[in-house]
Amino acid sequence: MAGVRASRKADGWRAYRCRLLLGVAVGLLLAGLFLSPFSLREKGRVRGPLPAGEGARDASLPLPRVMLWAWERREDMRAIDPRQVGVAYLAKTLFLRQGNVVTRPRLQPLQVPPTTVLMPVVRIESDKLSPPTLDAGQRTRVVEEILALGRASITPVIQIDFDAKISERAFYRTVLYDLRRALPDTTRISITALASWCLADHWLAGLPIDEAVPMLFRMGADRQRVLWHLQTGGALRCLPTQQSLGMAADEPLPHGLPGSRLYVFNPQAWSSASVHSALEEVKRWE
């Protein structure tokens, strides 16, 4: 019996040591998870508003000189040269309706060469019949939808397309600040901008964005006024350093406009001929 008791005691001691070692291992694992540089950096993002001066950032984005917008239609762009051309494709549309956010993902196929630089674009639209409340809950949902897209993208640039009215600007500004705090520092934010935002209107100043792309097409009655302003030396004030312009394939821009990157919208499906025309447009700036 004494031998049996000794054997049981030894077994109990070994079991105790195993539980002790297992507990230490689990503790170290949890410490590594919670104290890793990634988790600490992420915790630092929930702090308050960005300090003054942290608005406009370095606008030099790792993108080709020509970016083609691929909107909601079937696009076969396998003929492009990915060394010269990238694609900014509509990835999802967010409809703001009363207090809700209705999400519609891209439904049409997009075919590109394997090494093409792809930029996901989020389109935001306000329902005219059921105007949005623009409250905190709606803002949080919009940010979450954009963040989900950022996590799924391998390209560290996200573009937002929102023709915000004056009454929606405070909402949009807060969305951009919330998004900037939540995204990794390596992810850049690009937005499209109405031409009027880049002329006498200065509301984009200080936004935490890396690029604003003035859309110099479909401007209606303002087209001649805007182009005259630019051709006579007028400046675009989307950012302190403006590097990008947006045009349509069927509305060529005049010679001599400033800008080193061209975003091109095509009302029709892209073809080899229309891609070649976009490249020729860029050459006129050189």
pLDDT tens-digit map of 145-160: 999 987 777 778 999 9
**pTM confidence score:** 0.76
CA–CA gap between residue 131 and residue 10 (Å, rounded): 74
How far from 41 is each of 31, 34, 53, 107, 281, CA to CA, in Å? 15, 11, 21, 35, 43
pLDDT tens column, 216-225:
898 877 777 7
pLDDT band at 240, cuts 50/70/90?
A: low
Instruction: Give pLDDT, residue 155.
Output: 76
Q: Where are the alpha helices (DSSP H) in the chain?
A: 2-35, 37-43, 136-152, 169-182, 223-231, 272-283
pLDDT in tens, 188-232: 999 999 988 887 778 898 899 999 999 989 887 777 777 777 777
Tokens of 21: 């070692």
